[in-house]
Structure 1
Amino acid sequence: IPEKLKLLPPFQDPYFRFNDVSYRWIALENWTYSTTFAASAQQEVELIFDGVDTVASITLNGNLVGKTDNMFRRYVTDNLLQVQFLSPVVYASERSKAHQSYRVPPQCPPDVQKGECHVNFIRKEQSSFSWDWGPSFPTMGLWRDVRLEGFDALQLQQLSYLPLYSRFHLILFLTGNRLNWIVHKKLNSTTNHVRMVSTLPHSKKALVPMPAGSFLCGVCMFWHECGGFPPQSNNLLHRLTTEKGGLRAGMPSLA
């Protein structure tokens, strides 16, 4: 919010002279972002918030569709769009009062920092409540992109792999319409097919094991020397590709 307000008269740069103290009232107020948009005609359309700073209620055409309280995660909601921000200073103070039985230090920064208290009760950039090297600007706003994502059948949101010495597991986060689906896995030159007999709901987490012997390593290295991979071409990487119907399902290959 301070970065946006400095573009409007009579606001000045918050870093000029003692403006960090003069503008402390900004973090004590609640603020609302609003906009209008048109949605596509696809079967599934998601509203994605990559970064919301921090405590807010999201309404769509007057209906509450979600709440946020964590600056460091992404939020997804299912065409006047409003994001109503609560003062992070007030929120942190209220959360502290709700946990009086156990003191969580530090309660407040040193007086010389002229900062705000109880930053450890909010999932937010800690330095915004003041630090020894910077002023107190408890920010609010959309610090990452907001976008619409539409799809008709299936969307692969996240792909990760977990090596367990002789076993591999795939962890898939999928969103889509209700349908039966097949996961096609390929690790190096070995291909395996696993058919999921359950019906995929609108949101599902699936753990897919790689069959024994699908990927074997004679002498496996689980570490490398300090300073990064060797300068030679023998980097310890393995390419993993996930496809749906012969097409990449919204996620590039991982190495």
Structure 2
Amino acid sequence: MKKLLILSGKGGTGKTTTTASFIRFSQAQVFADCDVDAPNLHLVSHVEGNPAVSDYYGSEKAWIDPQKCLGCGICADACRFHAIHETDGVYQADEYACEGCGVCTAVCPYGAASLKEDKAGSLFLYDGNPVFSSAKLKMGRGNSGKLVSAVKSAMTEAAPPAELAIIDGSPGIGCPVISSISGVDLVLIVTEPSLSGLHDLKRIVETASIFRAKTAVCVNKYDLSPEKTAEIEAYCQEEEIPFLGRVPYDPSASRAINEGLPLSEIDCPARDALYEVYRKTMSLLDIQP
């Protein structure tokens, strides 16, 4: 099974719009949303049925037993993250500020402080036809990279025999992106014709190169700045990165999003251009479109 990962250097470039359209173009039976901080592929993929939901536990967090706490404040003085505060004569740990270092458990003379497993998010798996794996990280939690790995593992384990799996990644180059890149056959980078678009494109290319991942590029809303689009294309040529096409700005894209539809369902110039990008992407993967 070939794995296609779709990334963008920043939010709002059209990454998820591209992913949802590719899923429809290919009739993919296996896909995942690895943007665990803000998953939204489900809004336009319209997978039927109810997912299997499981808790994801990340790092441990401090917990102070109010029955044992005598209010001495030693734990609060020792906490460098200022995560422990007094409430009605006893101390409590703030789950959003606690880093799980365990200092409070070491200094508490009454054994009131302990570390407990912390629910860091939820995993969602539609184990049917198609298979769709996703997750949502709780606010203020870390370990997003580990959660992405769990999403990908769940997708792979539940996947039927299939030619292609499509993965919607996170914007940027942080932990979830690094975890998303691992083990994929091709990274398609969706960028936009702007200074920040080119800058962030270069960062993703550099990150992917560390993992020896094959990359390709397309430009969304290219006609907003033909000059910057030409600069992006020249950069790709210089770095020997396949440049797969230009997608024009099209108000129909906004209409599709507002109606909860992938762009592939709307007859418009952007849809036609995106299909050409899809066709070239499948060629790089040696898959018949």
Q: TM-score, normalised by structure 1?
A: 0.28
Q: TM-score, normalised by structure 2?
A: 0.25
Higher strand share: 1
Higher relative contact order (CA 8 A, sep 6+): 2
Higher helix share: 2
